[in-house]
């Protein structure tokens, strides 16, 4: 429904990108207080919700990973081109 609380532990830098550029990765460590672990039902629900978003809000992908010593769900967005959201 979009009413979940996400614990975001980092916005990792994509290797090779300018550290001053907008971040394209989000590391989520918990959803509604439930730690992100492989196979957790809340992870599947968040993944479904994200995939249902319309461009440009739909992420390029999601994947379980280890980050900063924790299990996380990495949400990845493509590099921004013209999104059409702002006038030229």
Q: 39 is written with which tokens?
A: 């196979």
Query: Contact, 66 vs 73, CB < 8 A?
Result: no
Q: 33 is written with which tokens?
A: 């207080």
Q: How far apart are CA 46 and CA 75, in angstroms?
A: 10
DSSP 66: E
* Residue 56 confidence (pLDDT): 84
C-alpha radius of gyration, the chain, whole number: 14
Model confidence over 53-84: pLDDT tens digits? 998 889 999 999 999 999 999 999 988 765 66
76 - beta bridge partners?
25, 61
Model confidence over 6-38: pLDDT tens digits? 999 999 998 898 888 889 999 999 998 989 986
* Residue 52 confidence (pLDDT): 94
């Amino acid at each position: 429904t979009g009413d979940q609380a996400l614990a975001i532990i980092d916005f990792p830098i994509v290797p090779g990108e300018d550290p001053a550029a907008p971040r394209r990765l989000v590391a989520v460590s918990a959803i509604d207080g439930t730690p992100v672990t492989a196979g957790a039902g809340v992870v599947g629900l968040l993944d479904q919700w994200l995939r249902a978003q319309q461009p440009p809000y739909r992420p390029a992908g999601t994947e379980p990973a280890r980050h900063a010593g924790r299990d996380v769900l990495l949400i990845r967005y493509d590099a921004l081109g013209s999104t059409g959201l702002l006038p030229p």
